[in-house]
Amino acid sequence: MTTSNQYIPADATVLEDTVVGAGLPWSGRIDRGEHLVFVDPEGQQAIDFLCYNAHDPHERYHAPNTVKLQGNIYLGPGSVLWSVRARKMMTIVEDTCGGHDTLFGCCSFELDDVRYGQRNPRACQQNFESELARHGLDATAVVPNVNFFMRVPVKADGSAAIADGWSKPGDHLTLRAEMDVLVVISNCPEALNPATGAGPTPIRAIRYRR
């Protein structure tokens, strides 16, 4: 059916509209030509993102190819997510925030032990592993990921760190699938750095076709 949802075109048919709880994973198949919208309702909430060829998960998002082929370390409107085989997987067709991170990958219990000497109740590495297991994939399928709505400024001397996010409540981005893909996300649970602002909050995932 069509919908008046403010984040999608008026003539779109909604296939799924899900609120992903704070700190939790989510996954779904997005067929070629379909769209996936991520909404950050409260602002400053990082979304760790991976995608795979739905028919051959060995072909997956590849951060170096994505950076090299667009000539930029940040993602924004018009950016393409490229596979390890240098094929287009998804394109950002709408984006109210920009500056999404391709460098810092995901948090994990082990990494936080080293960085902070303590752990959050959940971590993106473990979220990815548990969600990928539902699709018959193991921990080797977790590769360096995109961090939507996370800001990592890189200085002239090469130093980089997670900074306060600049996504505002209601900011969103829309991805168009360029092949049939399996999307897996971790709605980041990291509360020991600025990746989630004042703390982890829910996000919204909307899949639609036209």
Rounded-to-integer distance, Cα 197 and Cα 179, Å: 33
Q: Structural domain boundaries of the chain? A: 19-174+188-200
pLDDT per residue as tens digits for the range 157-168: 999 999 999 999
Render 133-185 in DSSP notation, one character per residue: HTTT--GGG----EEET-B--B-TTS-B--B---PPTTEEEEEEESS-EEEEE
The answer on pLDDT for 2 being more than 90 is no
Question: Does pTM top 0.85 for this prediction?
Answer: yes
Rounded-to-integer distance, Cα 195 and Cα 40, Å: 13
pLDDT per residue as tens digits for the range 14-44: 999 999 999 999 999 999 999 999 999 999 9
Rounded-to-integer distance, Cα 38 and Cα 17, Å: 10
